[in-house]
Amino acid sequence: MKILLYSSVFWPSTGGVETITATLAENIVRLGHECLVVTETITDREEELRIYKVIRKPTLKERFELTRQCSLVHSNGASVAMFPFAKLNNKPFIWTHNGYQVSCIDGLGWVDGEPAPMTPIASVNYHLRKNGLSYVLKESFKLAVRRYVANNVDLNIACSNWVAKRQECRKQVVAYTPYSLNKFKAARKIENRQYDFIYVGRLVSEKGVPDLIRAFHLLISEPTYSSKKLAIVGDGDMKPSLENLVEELALTNNVVFLGSRSGNELVEIIGNSHIAVVPSVWEEPFGGVTLELLAAGKNIIVSAFGGHAECVGDAGLKFKNGDFRSLYECMVRLITDRALAEQQLENATIQLNAFDEVKLTKRYLELYEEVICQKSN
């Protein structure tokens, strides 16, 4: 098979969709098939050496020709940009939903630092009040197009059961998206525990970092835990307000902001920590960072509603999204209950087996073959 894998964003942009696309493309080739990544992301940087080809911002004519030459078009993410070209060439079109793009105008269920409705009519009413008629007419049209495409693709793939539950599409299956986790396993060999807790991710409103800081403040207010340390790894527009909150709560000796890290440097920092916290307020569609932290051998606490809880299974503790007191109680439990912590690490081995990147890629290849076969009959 020759797969055209479309991702509107790609390297050097960084994020979940970019990571998934790169991992899936690489494994498709390693398993004996061809893969071409098409993206809108342009770069002046020297291209990384890859075993698959990347085409950046092709012309309409090039898109038509690239689609004609492939066996199947797979759009990974919110964009439907390649759908017309697949239709014109009578090629199968698969759409992976890594968010809520056919459920609501914003595609996220999170707007300006607060939850937003995740059903079409409620979303239209919400944005009408918030942004006015002109905005809603334009964005409602885009939502209608996405919903039309979702009803006319050869297969919709939800990246998690949580997403499938939140947006019901015809011809929909659940197939976990593959993450490259092996590099994080090196963190297990690091025995130093410089940080008691660690957060890794963007510093934006939906990630719930203020709740983590407040929960940590409750923890170290107790004399027994006054020397505990929290590392915050990442960057984003909330960083100044988070630093102010740390200062307000007199946590400057206990909380360290390490900025954005990647590669071996990130693995080493994670290895230097004990317990990982993923405190998202938003209903995350999937839990890529959760899997990375599990692979690194970390005990973990995640918010209960969203993809992180699905990914962690019985290998971590869960608290109600946005409830920092519940998060604090989970932090205390993991510190004090060594048997629980050890059981969760054992559970992580089983949990991670379900997210093996090669197994997940083989699942995608099976779906490709099924759709191609159906299209040809």
Domain ranges within the chain, ordered by starting residue: 2-180+357-376, 182-353
Global confidence as pTM? 0.92
What pLDDT score does 225 carry?
Answer: 97
What pLDDT score does 192 carry?
Answer: 82
What pLDDT score does 193 carry?
Answer: 87
- How many C-beta neighbours within 10 Å does residue 57 have? 11
DSSP string, 39-78: ES---SSPPPP-SSEEEES--HHHHHHHHHHSSEEEEESS
Cβ-based neighbours of 176, under 8 Å, separated by 6 or more: 159, 160, 286, 354, 355, 360, 363
Measuring CA to CA, which residue among 145, 24, 168, 173 is closest to residue 80? 145
What would the CATH number be for the domain defined by 182-353? 3.40.50.2000
Residue 337's identity, in one-letter code, is: D
Per residue of the chain (377 residues), give pLDDT as tens: 999 999 999 999 888 899 999 999 999 999 999 999 999 999 988 888 899 999 999 999 999 999 999 999 999 988 999 999 999 999 999 999 999 999 999 999 999 999 999 999 999 999 999 999 999 999 999 999 999 999 999 999 999 999 999 988 989 999 999 999 999 999 999 988 899 999 999 999 999 999 999 999 999 999 999 999 999 999 999 999 999 999 999 999 999 999 999 889 999 999 999 999 999 999 999 999 999 999 999 999 999 999 999 999 999 999 999 999 999 999 999 999 999 999 999 999 999 999 999 999 999 999 999 999 998 87
DSSP string, 60-124: HHHHHHHHHHSSEEEEESS--TTHHHHHHTT--EEEEESS-TTTSSSSSSEETTEE---SHHHHH
What pLDDT score does 14 carry?
Answer: 80
The token duo for 352 is 């991670």
In degrees and rounded to multiples of 5, residue 199 shows phi and psi of -120, 135
What would the CATH number be for the domain defined by 2-180+357-376? 3.40.50.2000
The token duo for 256 is 């360290």
Are 172 and 151 a contacting pair, CB within 8 Å?
Answer: no
Handedness of CA 6, 12, 13, 16 (dihedral sign): positive
